[in-house]
Chains A and B, each alone.
Chain A
Amino acid sequence: MDRRTFLNNIGLTVGGAAAATTMPVIGPSVAQAAVAPKGNIPSTPLKMGHMTFLTGPAAVLGEPSLKGHLLAAEEINAAGGILGKRKIETISADEQAGTDANVKELRRMKLSEKIDLFTGVISSGNTPALGPVAEELSLLTIFVDGCTDFLWDKAVPNPKYTFRITNIQSADGVTCALAAAQTWPKAKKIAHIHPDYSYGRNAFDHFMIAYSKLVPGAQVVSEGWPKLGTTDFTAHITKTISSQPDLIVSSVWGGDYVALYKQALRYGMFKDAKFASTIAFGVAPHAIGKDHPEGAIAGVHSNYYFTFPPGNRWPANKTFVEKYFKRWNEYPNFQSDGAYHTLYMYKTAIEKANRLVGGWPDEEAIISQLEGMYYETAAGYLYIRPDNHQGYKDAVTGFSKNVAEYPFQILDPATMITIPIRNITAPPNWPKPGQGHNDPTATYNWIKETWPQVT
């Protein structure tokens, strides 16, 4: 099979936006007419715990999560609360406290603050520790991120109370690989710089398994594994350049990435090699300067960038970006989108459950409505798979570009790459690690076993 057929079969599309420019402008979707809630609704406030990085280098990714959450809560409260009665009160917590402290905080929130919903969380190091505790406490939990495959593969294999919104992590490495293979199919010598923890390892594994299916002869010529929170990358950069790679792949994120790209610029790292990142533009958009190299694959964790889908084609995005900008005077990132729509999906599930059972629905009823839910988010349709409670939406990545409208560098909406999520993640019931294979994730095994090899 040749590469072009392969990518066509995968359904990778580039720059859907170009065709859309001639389409008529559609107004924002009209909110569903409010239906009076059934039965007696208590007027006690709903308490929510939102945990994200509020300090440390990850805050530039994490603060937007809380901002997205608060925006949704304010909107819902202004409209009278959920089911017209219950307003939202949010308790925030700083994820930077460390995994053990985060687990304690989760218990405290449930046991002494009596929260109704736990949400947020960014690090893949934290969700596998928090998930089992949330299950043990029977606490309805919707993680915004912390998207490691390990959560559903091993830590919580049969979730009941825990859900997760952003795309599963394996999709990130695979999306980056497909975009790179589509754009620079001749790149065979690959250099890697990844943070040394579960996310970086996951990105490395999934990039390589997918990329080597598409680009025969691809080989790793250099590896760098900086610690999370590193600010000096000069030695990694020199090593990377010394391996004379065709393509440099990185999953360094947050404030670390800002430090990395600024140093790499001065060493000329972007001059002779192409650059592809899974998550470079995942930070709050204004954190990326116009000095960032243009034309790089600058991923957004395969989730969402605020310029895409363009507002004329997907009004839900236009509305969301406008509201967010009006409230916070900045543009949202994928965490903002995730946190914002988490609350709205929760609200929708409660309204549906209320119509079925009346009164304030119990956890079981809310969960039954979240399972299998399809929801129109700013990023596109989001589907919650009932078997693993994982949110799936089409994966996106794009190319960095300077435009006059924004004082920072953006992802060019005209060349955004979209890939149907079902084609890059393992289907339900695919054997998990330890069930007949010992690959890092179910998706890794699924790609290894079922994807054809381009020749």
Chain B
Amino acid sequence: MTIFIIQVLNSLFYAASLFLIAAGLSLIYGVMRIVNLAHGTFYALGAYVSAWAVGTAFGHAGGGGWHLMGQLLLLPIGAIAIAAVGAVIEPTLLRPLYRRPEEYLLLITFGLLMVLEDSMKLIFGGTPLSAGTIMDAMGSIPIGRLLYPTYNLVVMAVGLGAAIGLWWFIYRTRFGVILRATSQDRRMAAALGLNVSRVYIQAFAIGCFMAGLGGAVVVPAQAAVLGMGVDALILAFVVVVVGGLGSLEGAFIGALIVSFVRTAGIQFFPEIELAVLYLIAAAVLLVRPTGLFGRA
């Protein structure tokens, strides 16, 4: 039973980080029809920036409550930084290519992935960066005879909070209406006097913010390592394939499905852990080619 509870918590933790990555990917695609191959790398960059900020400001020693609060408050720096990066990249790198076939956008975001991966190594070095002091300061909760890291609950809360916030933002605010209108028909939105360029920058920056936030909240638990973005990108694609590209609900449900199936695979069928995620994606594609919540 204890194991069951912890594995459920593990799955929710994993789902939270998957959702943060996949939601941004999905949002950007939904509004702008860009498959952003550099999205996983934004996630990694968020992790590096936050780990660097926490490490620089607080060193690697532990500390008291204020110390911990300060570190937690510093974490979102990664997300903000990546949103800023996104706001610069969209008008300079992507916008000139909107009139070209979409292969150009695939190529340029892939190129961006390569450049950013190398830049991270250049700036932060090859050694993994950790913000583990936060994990250590928050300790663990005993569950039965086992331990569960308290911080992981924070990650789940952030994941859930981000999902609710994003939903409210898209479906309950004026900006959300503009966003959805632009996503449905860009030309019509422009004809009605909306500033589509500005909506694009904002949408791209929000998508990047989500990726950066994913990296920022995960880094105390896992450490920032080179290459983590590429792995994250692949997983995010599995999530959006299952949930449906461009759908917020899809990203949410997709992240939960992928995460729980992966955990079940690890627990019961360790030999096929690698295959199990792709099996789900393949099964969904066969039954519903647009994903569970996807639009045709």
A residues engaging B (CB < 8 A)?
Answer: 54-60, 63, 96, 196, 222-227, 229-232, 234-236, 238-239, 241-242, 255-256, 258-259, 262-263, 266-268, 284, 286-287, 289, 291
Contacts of A256 in B (CB 8 A): 225
Contacts of A59 in B (CB 8 A): 121, 126, 226-227
A234 B225 Cβ-Cβ under 8 A: no
B267 A60 Cβ-Cβ under 8 A: no
A230 B7 Cβ-Cβ under 8 A: no
Given contacts A227-B273, A229-B227, A262-B132, contact A239 B127 (CB under 8 A): no
The answer to the question of B204 belonging to the interface, with a C-beta cut-off of 8 Å to chain A, is no
Offer 7 A-B interface pairs, CB within 8 angstroms, sorted by A.
Answer: A224-B266, A225-B274, A226-B266, A235-B10, A236-B266, A238-B10, A262-B221
B227 A60 Cβ-Cβ under 8 A: no
Contact with A along B243-272 (1 / 0, CB 8 A): 000000000000000000011001100110
Closest 9 CB pairs of A and B: A255-B225, A56-B227, A266-B149, A242-B3, A234-B10, A268-B147, A59-B126, A235-B266, A235-B263
A259 B227 Cβ-Cβ under 8 A: no
B148 A57 Cβ-Cβ under 8 A: no
Given contacts A262-B223, A266-B135, contact A55 B13 (CB under 8 A): no
Contacts of A63 in B (CB 8 A): 126
Q: Which residue of B lies closest to A256 (CB)?
A: B225
A262 B228 Cβ-Cβ under 8 A: no
Contacts of B222 in A (CB 8 A): 231-232, 259, 262-263
Q: How near does chain A come to B257, taking the closest CB pair, in angstroms?
A: 15
Q: Which residue, A54, A57, A222, has most C-beta atoms of chain B within 10 A?
A: A57
Contacts of B218 in A (CB 8 A): 231
B117 A258 Cβ-Cβ under 8 A: no
Contacts of A56 in B (CB 8 A): 226-227, 230
A284 B121 Cβ-Cβ under 8 A: no
A225 B273 Cβ-Cβ under 8 A: yes
Contacts of A223 in B (CB 8 A): 270-271
Q: Which residue, A222, A258, A284, has most C-beta atoms of chain B within 10 A?
A: A258
Contacts of B132 in A (CB 8 A): 262, 289, 291
The answer to the question of B50 belonging to the interface, with a C-beta cut-off of 8 Å to chain A, is no
A238 B128 Cβ-Cβ under 8 A: no
Contact with A along B4-16 (1 / 0, CB 8 A): 0011001101100
A54 B121 Cβ-Cβ under 8 A: yes
Name B1-53 residues within 8 Å CB distance of A: 3, 6-7, 10-11, 13-14, 17
* Docked pose: A230 CA to B266 CA in angstroms: 13
Given contacts A235-B267, A238-B3, contact A259 B223 (CB under 8 A): yes
Contacts of A231 in B (CB 8 A): 218, 222-223, 225, 228, 231
Q: How near does chain B come to A126, taking the closest CB pair, in angstroms?
A: 16
Q: Which residue of B lies closest to A94 (CB)?
A: B118
The answer to the question of B130 belonging to the interface, with a C-beta cut-off of 8 Å to chain A, is yes
Q: How near does chain A come to B229, taking the closest CB pair, in angstroms?
A: 10
Q: How near does chain A come to B50, taking the closest CB pair, in angstroms?
A: 15
Contact with A along B132-170 (1 / 0, CB 8 A): 100110001000001111011000000000000000000
Q: How near does chain A come to B4, taking the closest CB pair, in angstroms?
A: 9
B127 A60 Cβ-Cβ under 8 A: yes
Given contacts A63-B126, A235-B7, A259-B225, contact A229 B271 (CB under 8 A): no
Q: Which residue of A lies closest to B151 (CB)?
A: A266
A55 B140 Cβ-Cβ under 8 A: no
Q: How near does chain B come to A73, taking the closest CB pair, in angstroms?
A: 20
A55 B227 Cβ-Cβ under 8 A: yes
Given contacts A227-B274, A235-B11, contact A268 B140 (CB under 8 A): yes
Q: How near does chain B come to A4, taking the closest CB pair, in angstroms?
A: 35
B273 A258 Cβ-Cβ under 8 A: no
Contacts of B266 in A (CB 8 A): 224, 226, 235-236, 239
Q: How near does chain B come to A92, taking the closest CB pair, in angstroms?
A: 13
B273 A60 Cβ-Cβ under 8 A: no
Q: Which residue of B lies closest to A230 (CB)?
A: B231
Q: How near does chain A come to B74, taking the closest CB pair, in angstroms?
A: 19
Q: Which residue of A lies closest to B225 (CB)?
A: A255
A258 B270 Cβ-Cβ under 8 A: no
Contacts of A267 in B (CB 8 A): 140, 146-149
* Docked pose: A347 CA to B48 CA in angstroms: 41
B262 A241 Cβ-Cβ under 8 A: no
Q: How near does chain B come to A2, taking the closest CB pair, in angstroms?
A: 34
16 additional A-B pairs beyond A55-B226, A255-B227, A266-B147, beta carbons within 8 Å, are: A59-B226, A60-B127, A60-B128, A223-B271, A225-B273, A232-B14, A232-B17, A234-B152, A235-B262, A239-B266, A255-B225, A259-B222, A267-B146, A267-B148, A268-B140, A286-B127
* Docked pose: A229 CA to B128 CA in angstroms: 13
Q: Which residue of B lies closest to A290 (CB)?
A: B60
A229 B231 Cβ-Cβ under 8 A: yes
Q: How near does chain B come to A296, taking the closest CB pair, in angstroms?
A: 18
